[in-house]
Amino acid sequence: MKTKFKVCIVSAEMAPFAKVGGLADVANSLSRTLASMGHEVSVFVPRYGFLDAQDMGMKRVKLNGEVRVRLGNDTKSVELWQCSLRGSKAAIYLVANDYLLGRNGVYGDPETRYDYADNALRFTFFSRAVLEIIKNLSLRYDVIHLNDHQTGLIPLLMKEEYASEKALASAATLFTIHNLGYQGVYPREMLEEAGLPEELAYAMGPLEFWGKVNFMKAAIVYADIISTVSETYAKEIQTGQEYGCGLEGVLKARSEDLFGVLNGADYVTWNPSTDRYLAYKYGLSNVKDKAKNKLHFINKNRLSDLTQQSFLMGIVSRLADQKGLDLLEAVADELLAMDAGLAVLGTGQQRYHEFFTRLQERYPGKVSVSLDFNEKLAHVIEAASDVFLMPSRYEPCGLNQMYSMRYGTVPVVRFTGGLADTVKPYNPTTGEGTGFVFHDYSTAALMDAVGAAYGVFQDKERWERLMKNAMQEDFSWKRAAKGYVELYKKAVGRKCSAPFADWVYSVSEKAL
Ligand code: ADP
Ligand code: GLC
């Protein structure tokens, strides 16, 4: 059995090139870690308009003749660029087409925050372009590792259209679900526009979803192996509509091939003792210095109702319903009635932009809100806060709670997905545990958890022990990458070959 793999990771996001959420961090850390373990790693990401060739040291890759991707009646040209990932042997390929991918945003217009209306075409193009490039350059991979719906057509195209292409025929596929709340569901008309096989969109078929087209469903049906980013989420998404978001049937039909691998945390970027963004660096041996960051933050943001003794709650998040922000909205006044402040960094739904703006206006001495995407401020808030709030409605994995723990910032989380798998509930009798965990999705349960944290916070000794427990947790990427290597082995072993129609039919039957 092979122990070293040639892996091709395909993702719409990858730090430091393009980041909207945790997917970007995962693409970076996973490729880095796999490469450091001796695997041969290539990553394909779109070349967005905000990526500067010179800044990034990008070089144009010469393809064998002109490469064009057919989209319905049209064809679009493909350019390929390459650059390196600092400190890593992983090769980064940037797929370019100025019109479709070279825009200022990843998924939508940064000004209006609306998704681009042609995302179905943009990511069909990206998926097809990746396959055309592999074919054109005769690249050989053991495994093609796809991430989220933007790359969901690749397993389907590989089996339905590229099965006899030498470069692709031998590669197995792994599809990782980072968030089932975003499935890439588009109107049926896009099939013709994008030149996708309409015959696969029959009722209950692999591309069909309530009369529409669903990229994520296609990947779940066609990938050799499927994974998601925590074990609990892998179970939750098979239980019903709430977590499965309508795909629970197909997921259940493939449950033997569906695994959970918990993400890791990048402790080079997220290390309070070396963090260049912090006014005061600190670690286990000088944990008391963490409080200096809080005071610095309070003074800098003129939070005049707070002192170093106040309880500072931090949030760094996409501002989306997923993150449980409606609960927070309902209890905000009650929370701020304590000797407590709130530091918020995020962008997302208009509703939460308005809520946090109003909250800051009402509590100028206690609340600091930045409706922005700001790498530095994310680190500053992690270091300054006493607790980190993540009352998520659902959470496939979540990275911020892991970063928080390393920063001695005690997480207050709901028991779901990766939050359930990473935060150990504080036990007041033994002093063990790493955070505060609540179960019901309710304001009362959230208030109880924050109240419990506030209570322990008043006892400096107990709180310091709790901080130290959290700081010593280790969610290294090495463990996660090993988990993926196991899945690559499985994918290679289970690669499904023709006649493929029977396979698709049997998955659809089981999903009924
Ligand atoms: P999700 O992927 O659902 O957004 P994760 O917790 O997995 O949630 O990852 C979010 C990542 O994005 C973290 O690295 C977090 O620090 C970062 N992040 C989220 N919002 C912002 C923001 N406004 N500014 C800077 N970083 C952010
Ligand atoms: C998603 C999830 C988040 C996860 C991240 C990376 O965006 O919402 O929970 O940590 O992907 O896998």
The full set of domain ranges for the chain reads: 6-264+479-511, 284-471
Domain 284-471: what homologous superfamily?
Glycogen Phosphorylase B; (3.40.50.2000)
Are 6-264+479-511 and 284-471 the same fold in CATH?
yes
**What number is the average pLDDT over the span 182-190?**
96
| Pairing verdict, β 340-348 and 367-370 | parallel
Q: 500 pLDDT band (50/70/90 cuts)?
A: low
As a whole-number percent, the residues of the chain with pLDDT over 90 amount to 90
Residues 198 and 208: their CA atoms lie apart, in Å, by 9
Domain 6-264+479-511 sits in CATH 3.40.50.2000:
yes
Residue 24 Cβ < 6 Å to ligand 2: no
Q: 502 pLDDT band (50/70/90 cuts)?
A: confident
Q: How far is the CA of 17 from the centre of ligand 2 (A)?
A: 17
Q: How far is the CA of 400 from the centre of ligand 1 (A)?
A: 7
**What number is the average pLDDT over the span 23-34?**
98
Question: pLDDT per residue over 74-104, tens digit each?
Answer: 999 999 999 999 999 999 999 999 999 999 9
Ligand nearest to the CA of 396: 2
Q: How far is the CA of 21 from the centre of ligand 1 (A)?
A: 4
Q: How far is the CA of 134 from the centre of ligand 2 (A)?
A: 28
Q: Is the pLDDT of residue 2 over 90?
A: no
Ligand nearest to the CA of 315: 1
Residue 155 Cβ < 6 Å to ligand 1: no
Atom of ligand 2 nearest to the CA of 263: 12
Residue 414 Cβ < 6 Å to ligand 2: no
What's the confidence (pLDDT) of residue 19?
96
Q: 146 pLDDT band (50/70/90 cuts)?
A: very high
Report in angstroms the alpha-carbon separations of 91 from 39, 41, 106: 12, 6, 21
Residue 324 Cβ < 6 Å to ligand 1: no
**Do the Cβ atoms of 467 and 431 come closer than 8 Å?**
no
Residue 22 Cβ < 6 Å to ligand 1: yes
What's the confidence (pLDDT) of residue 499?
57
What's the confidence (pLDDT) of residue 95?
98
Ligand nearest to the CA of 417: 2
Q: In this predicted structure, which of 160-169, 325-334, 390-399 has the lowest mean pLDDT? A: 160-169
Question: pLDDT per residue over 408-465, tens digit each?
Answer: 999 999 999 999 999 999 999 999 999 999 999 999 999 999 999 999 999 999 999 9
Output DSSP code: residue 128.
H
Q: Whose CA is nearest to atom 20 of ligand 1?
A: 317
Residue 179 Cβ < 6 Å to ligand 2: yes
**What number is the average pLDDT over the span 23-36?**
98
As a whole-number percent, the residues of the chain with pLDDT over 70 amount to 99
Q: How far is the CA of 178 from the centre of ligand 2 (A)?
A: 5
**What number is the average pLDDT over the span 327-350?**
97
The pTM of this model reads 0.96
What's the confidence (pLDDT) of residue 498?
53
Q: 312 pLDDT band (50/70/90 cuts)?
A: very high
**Do the Cβ atoms of 488 and 143 come closer than 8 Å?**
yes
The 3-class SS string of 267-298 reads CCCCCCCCCCCCCCCCCHHHHHHHHHHHHHHH
Q: 496 pLDDT band (50/70/90 cuts)?
A: low
Q: How far is the CA of 399 from the centre of ligand 2 (A)?
A: 7
Question: pLDDT per residue over 453-490, tens digit each?
Answer: 999 999 999 999 999 999 999 999 999 999 999 999 99
Q: Whose CA is nearest to atom 5 of ligand 2?
A: 22
What's the confidence (pLDDT) of residue 117?
96
Q: 68 pLDDT band (50/70/90 cuts)?
A: very high
Residue 398 Cβ < 6 Å to ligand 1: yes
**Do the Cβ atoms of 341 and 413 come closer than 8 Å?**
no
Atom of ligand 1 nearest to the CA of 23: 2
**Do the Cβ atoms of 13 and 25 come closer than 8 Å?**
no
What's the confidence (pLDDT) of residue 504?
75
